Structures are given as C-alpha cells and as structure tokens.
C-alpha cells in the first residue's frame, strides 16, 4: 500500500515511504520533523502551510506527497544559512517588526523569497498581490509589506 518517493528537501535527498493519501504538509511535519510549515485551515484558505516546490510556492495542505515525487522542496528551515546566519528577508522581517505571533511567518517569508527571486524590485502593489493568499491576523500586513520592500531596495539590481 505504501509508496516509496524521493524528495530533495532543503537540499538533502530523502527517500520516504508514504500512503497514497498522505499530504505533503503532514509528511514534512511528522515524518521529517520539519514543523515550520503550519496547519492553519487544511483547505487552502490561509497560506500557513506554504512551501516552495521547485522554487514555486504551493499549499502543502492541498498537495499529496506522492504527487510531488522527485521534486525539490524548500521549507522555512531551509533558509537557515549553514553558519546559522539569517537570510536577508528574515533579517528584514525582524527589523520591521513583521513577526508577532509568528504563525504566518514561515509562509510569508517563503512567499517573499519566491517573489524576490523572480522580481528583485517589486512595487508595493506587486508585493501585496503576491501575498494576498497568506493571512496574518496580528500585524495588519503593513510591517510585512515594508519588510519585503526594504529587501528589494537594499539589494543590488
């Protein structure tokens, strides 16, 4: 019944045995102990479970693990530098107070990374548009948008 799949998670190759109905979110959290992706709604309405699949954001609560066999997955834990250093986006989130309870933060930061990888200097409008599916109940979004904008400004073109 179980199926073997191979994923590259945060740069490390992992062979996993999963049930056909297992969600990527649960495989990451329970089998791999990567709890940075969160359960917020389970039905694609909050963005707390966002991870990057081959660089593109997906909702891991809506994704079957077997369906992404062979892909590369980046979770928030994968942004930690090998020397323990912060990614510039994380640093900017801290400086702008964009982290309150922090529950939406992993999803937000991965969305920001995806945006800035594709578009190093997005407008405020583009930033807001990009994170529209990620809910945050604490910050009121302003500090998050500012944090993302600031990274794009300080980056060399």
Partner 1 sequence: MNGKDDFKIIGKPIPRHDAWEKAFGLTTYAADFSLPDMLHGKVLRSKYPSAKILSIDTTKAKRLKGVQAVLTAKDVPRNESVTRFGQTHTVGGGFEGLYRVLADNKVHFLGEAVALVAADTEEIALKALDLIKVEYEPIPGVFDPIEAMNPNAPQVQEGRSNIITHYEVVRGDVEKGFSEADVVVENTYRVQFVDHAYMEPESGVAWIDENGVITIRVSTQVIEHFRGIADVLNLPHNRVRVIGTYVGGGFGGKEDITVEAFLALLTYKTGRPVKLTYTREESILSHSKRHPYVMEYKTGAKKDGRLIALKARLVSDAGAYVYLSPWVLLYSMVDAPGPYRIPHVRVDGYTVLTNNTFTSANRGFGAPQVCFAYESQMDELARRLQMDPAEIRKINYLEKGEALATGQVLNHLVALKETTDQVLQVLGEKPLSKGKIRIGRGIASGMTSYGRMIFLHDTSRSHVSIEMDGSVTIRTGVQDIGGGQASSLCQIASEVLGVPLDHIKIYIADTALTPFAGTTTATRQLYMSGNATLIAAQEVRKTLIQKAARMMDLDPERLNLVDREVVDQGGSGKNLPLTEVIKACASDGLPLYHVALFKAPFRTLTQFERIEGDVFPDFTFGTHGVVVAVDEETGKVQVLKIVSCFDVGRAINRLSVEGQIEGGAIYGMGYALTEEVILKEGITLTPSFSEYLLPTSMDLPELETLLIESGDGVGPFGSKGVGEPSVCSVAPAIANAIYDAVGIRINELPLTPERILKALRKEENDENPLSRHR
Q: Is 73 in the site for partner 1 (CB under 8 A)?
A: no
- % helix / strand / coil in the chain, to the nearest 5? 40, 15, 45
Pick from 56, 37, 34, 55: which is nearest to 47 by CA? Answer: 37
Structure tokens at 105: 């933060």
Pick from 140, 92, 142, 99: which is nearest to 113 by CA? Answer: 92
- From partner 1, ligand FES, none, which one binds at residue 129 (CB under 5 to 8 Å depending on kind)? partner 1
By CB under 6 A, name the binding residues for ligand FES. 39-42, 44-49, 59, 61, 100-104, 136-139
Q: Is 44 helix (H, G, I), strand (E, B) or coil?
A: coil
Q: Which stretch binds partner 1 (CB under 8 A): 1-9, 66-74, 92-100, 112-120?
A: 92-100
Instruction: Name which position in 6, 17, 67, 101 contacts partner 1 (CB under 8 A).
Output: 101
Within positions 114 to 143, which residues make up the interface with partner 1, using CB under 8 A? 127-129, 131-143
Q: Is 113 in the site for partner 1 (CB under 8 A)?
A: no
- Sequence-distant (6+) residues with CB within 8 A of 60 are 23, 24, 25, 28, 37, 49, 50, 51
Q: Give the footprint of partner 1 on this chain (CB under 8 A).
A: 29-30, 35-43, 45-46, 48, 75-77, 79-80, 86, 90, 93-97, 99-106, 109, 127-129, 131-145
């Amino acid at each position: 019944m179980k199926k073997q799949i191979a994923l590259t998670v945060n740069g490390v190759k992992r062979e996993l045995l999963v049930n056909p109905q297992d969600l990527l979110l649960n495989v990451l959290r329970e089998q791999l102990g990567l709890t940075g992706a969160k359960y917020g709604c389970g039905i694609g309405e909050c963005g707390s479970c966002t991870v990057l699949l081959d660089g593109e954001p997906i909702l891991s609560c809506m994704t079957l693990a077997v369906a992404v066999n062979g892909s590369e997955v980046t979770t928030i834990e994968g942004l930690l530098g090998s020397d323990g250093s912060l990614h510039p986006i994380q640093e900017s989130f801290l400086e702008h107070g964009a982290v309150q309870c922090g529950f939406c933060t992993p999803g937000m930061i991965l969305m920001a990374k995806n945006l800035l990888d594709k578009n190093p200097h997005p407008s405020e409008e583009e930033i807001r548009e990009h994170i529209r599916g990620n809910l945050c109940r604490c910050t009121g979004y302003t500090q998050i948008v500012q944090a993302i904008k600031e990274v794009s400004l300080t980056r060399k073109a």
